Amino acid sequence: MNMPDSNSSRPLRTPVLFMVFNRLDTTKRVFEAIRRAKPPRLYVAADGPRADRPGEGEKVQAVRDYVMNSIDWDCEIKTLFRDHNLGCKYAVTGAINWFFENEEMGIILEDDCLPDQSFFMFCQELLGRYRDDKRIMMISGDNFQFGKERTENSYYFSRYTHIWGWASWRRAWNLYDCGMSTWPEIYGNRFLKDILSDKRAAKYWESIFNSVYHGSIDTWDYQWVFSCWIQGGLSIIPNRNLVSNIGFGQSSTHTRDKSPFSNLSTERIEFPLKHPTFVIRNVSADNFTEKIWYSQSRSRKILLGLKEIKLMFKSKSVWRGHGKSL
């Protein structure tokens, strides 16, 4: 259960981009979190229905109508509603481009990423703090360490770009390369091994990036990973999980499989935030991420993830009373 946030009395000054599609159930839950936060400027983007999906047009319209009819606070509203389906790659890229054409920085949520209320102020404070620090590319609301506390501070730095609820700046997004134009040079010189320092991780990501570059995967987020890495950029990761992905299932776009990362419980992050005194990547946290997620085959990574979760739950101190079945 989410506890009242001691920081909730502060007004949210940061704009929010809300990307929706055809799932009214998850949209309602995420929108309610946004409505409670009351951003002063709300950007709503939606891809168009797919022509080969009977009845999808009605679902898409129902989602749009719900959001627009439910905005009951004083805010500036901008919409980007597509008439035709562009697909994940171009619809999401276009929506974020549009957002940062209008805003210098902001928070980004998709219709299945349910944030704790403290997520909004966490992002707002750090957007201001690292506004001009070009080492930092984004702020994530996700923590996939399953209770392992990596620092005594409120957050740490990572190479990984967890985007189930995140925030960034125009200066960072301007470095996004949807077409991955420099991938042939990176691949040809085996630079990924230099970046990752792990042969298994490099092999995994070479396969992913090759597929994206050649158009085999309709997505936008792997290109963001690539763009951040070739710039040597870091992500901010909270020491608590602040966002839960509630979109796993048959009607989701990319997350249909059962996963140990689905419906993770969230926690309130405490304010005032405790800031690190230096900007250094947390290697232990990133190695953990690679071990249970990126560097393994699908079956192996789920098995390892579940084993890690079981081990975590054996330690009563891990969840501090917040342990729930995943």
155 close to 273: Cβ distance less than 8 angstroms: yes
**How many folded domains does the chain comprise?**
1
Flag whether 197 is in a domain.
yes
The secondary structure of 289-315 as a DSSP string is HIIIIISS-HHHHHHHHHHHHHHHHT-
Handedness of CA 52, 55, 61, 63 (dihedral sign): negative
Flag whether 226 is in a domain.
yes
For the stretch 121-167, pLDDT in tens is 999 999 999 999 999 999 999 999 988 899 999 999 999 999 999 99
Alpha helices of 38-117 — where are they, by DSSP H?
A: 56-70, 87-102
Q: How far apart are the first and last CA of the chain?
A: 14
Please give the single-letter amino acid code of residue 89: K
CATH code at position 251 = 3.90.550.10
Flag whether 325 is in a domain.
no
**Element containing residue 316 per DSSP (H, E):** helix 316-319
Peptide bond into 272 cis (omega under 30): yes
pLDDT in tens, the chain (326 residues): 344 444 556 899 999 999 999 999 999 999 999 999 999 999 999 999 999 999 999 999 999 999 999 999 999 999 999 999 999 999 999 999 999 999 999 999 999 999 999 999 999 999 999 999 999 999 999 999 988 899 999 999 999 999 999 999 999 999 999 999 999 999 998 899 888 888 888 888 999 999 999 999 999 999 999 999 999 999 999 999 999 999 986 454 544 456 777 889 999 999 999 999 999 999 999 999 888 776 555 545 544 444 544 444 333 333 333 333 32
Flag whether 90 is in a domain.
yes
At 148, list the tokens.
């392992």
Flag whether 7 is in a domain.
no
Task: Name the β-bridge partners of 210.
Answer: none
- Helices 199-213 and 221-230: crossing angle, nearest 10°? 120
Which range of residues forms the domain containing residue 209? 16-319
At 37, list the tokens.
């936060």
Return the percent helix, strand and coil in the chain, to nearest 5.
40, 15, 45
Flag whether 6 is in a domain.
no
Flag whether 207 is in a domain.
yes
The secondary structure of 206-248 as a DSSP string is HHHHHHHHTT-S--SHHHHHHHHHHTT-EEEEESS--EEE---
For the stretch 173-191, pLDDT in tens is 999 999 999 999 999 988 9
- Plot region of 302 (φ>0 → left; ψ -120 to 50 → alpha; else → beta): alpha
Flag whether 1 is in a domain.
no
Q: What is the pTM of this model?
A: 0.87
